[in-house]
Amino acid sequence: MGLGNMGRFMKRMSVWFTGRRSVSIKEERVPPLKPLQVLVQTIVSAISSGTELIVYRGGTPKEMSADTTIPTLSGSFEFPLKYGYSAVGRIIEISKGINKTWRGKTVFAFHPHESYFTATLDNLVELTDEIAPEDAAFLSNMETAINFVMDGRPLIGENVVVFGQGIVGLLTTSLLARFPLVRLITLDRYPLRRKASILQGAHASLDPHGRNVCERIKSLLRDTTRHSYADLVLELSGQPEALDQAIAVTGFHGRVVIGSWYGQKKSPVALGGRFHRSRIRLVSSQVSTIAPVLIGRWDKERRILSALRMLRLIKPSEHFITHRYPVTRAAKAYSLLDKRPHTAIQVLLTYQ
C-alpha cells in the first residue's frame, strides 16, 4: 500500500469534547501523509486533570485560543473540540524526504487524544529506550514543573510551600525535594495526594481546609528556623481562593508563583495589609514561554531535555498512575476525575 493511499483506508479513534461534561469517541479517517510528515500510532496518552477538566466542565474563556504555541491546539475553546497534549506513540510510516531510520522510533507529541496522528518531526520529541512510554506520558507536566521551579528560583536554606498536589504539584514537589531546602510543606485536600507528596520528599503535607492551617504552616516553619513565613510559595491548586492562603504564609519580599490556570474562575484577593507592606511578589508562570531573564541561555529544546532527564530520575509511572482506561472509555475517565477526584492522581488512556 502506498503512503498516499494509507490515509484513505486507515481510521482512527479520536476523543472529542462535544459539550459541557460530554465526551465522545469519533471514528475518523487518518489523513494521508504530506511531504516531510510521519504517521504515529499512539501507545498511551495522559489526561491533564487540571486544564482538561476545565475544558470538560466548560470553564474555559471561549474567546481564548487553546494554545498558540502548539499547532494542534491553535483553535478556540468552542465546543466541539479535541484537546490534550501528552501523547506517546510509535512512528509506523514516513513520507518521502525523511530518513528511514525514523520508522519504528518511539516519540512524544503535544497532541490531542487519538489512536493515530500525522506530524512533522519538528513537532515530535524522540525518546530513547531509557524512558518507558508511560513515563514519557508525563513529559508535558514535567516540563511545566521545571518551569515553575525555574520561575520560583529556590535558594539553599529556604522555606518553600506548595499549594496543590495534583500531578503537576507532585512533580514540582519531586523536583523541590532535591534542593537543599530547610522546609518543604505541601497542601492538598485529598489524603491520597498528601501521602504521595510525603513519599516524594515533602516534610509535611496538610489539608488546606483544615482548622488554622496557615498557623500550622507557620508553626512548622518556625520549628526549623527563626522565620515563621515561607520564602517561596507555589500556588498550583487551580483554586483562586488559595491565593489568600499563599499570601498569608509568605514572608517579607517573598515570592508567590501562580502556576494555576483558573479559566473563568474569579476570586477577590486580599491585597491590603501584609501583602502591601511586606512587598510580596506575585509571579505568573506558564510553560508556553520562558522567563525573559533566561532566554539568553534557555530555549524550549533545553527545557525538554531537562524534563527527559528528570523523568529518567523520578520515574513517575511507578508512583503516580492510579487508573488506565482504553481510549474507547475516555468518557468514564473524565467522569472519574470530575466526580471522584479523591481516588485518582494520574489517569492514562491506552490504545494497544
What are the tens digits of pLDDT across the range 189-244?
999 999 999 999 999 999 999 999 999 999 999 876 677 899 999 999 999 999 99
pLDDT the model gives residue 231: 97
Is the link from the previous residue into 80 a cis peptide, with omega within 30 of 0?
yes
Domain 3-138+320-350, second-level architecture: Alpha-Beta Complex (3.90)
Q: In the chain, pLDDT over 90 holds for what percent of residues?
A: 84
What pLDDT, in 10s, does the model give residues 283-314? 999 999 999 999 999 999 999 999 999 999 99
- In the chain, residues under CATH classification 3.90.180.10 are 3-138+320-350
Average pLDDT over residues 184-192: 98
**Three-state secondary-structure class, residue 31:** coil
- pTM given for the model: 0.92
- Does residue 338 have a pLDDT over 80? yes
- In the chain, residues under CATH classification 3.40.50.720 are 141-293
Q: Does domain 141-293 have CATH number 3.40.50.170?
A: no
pLDDT the model gives residue 22: 97
Cell 513537532, residue? 123
Q: Which of 72-86, 126-140, 209-223 has the lowest mean pLDDT?
A: 72-86
pLDDT the model gives residue 67: 55
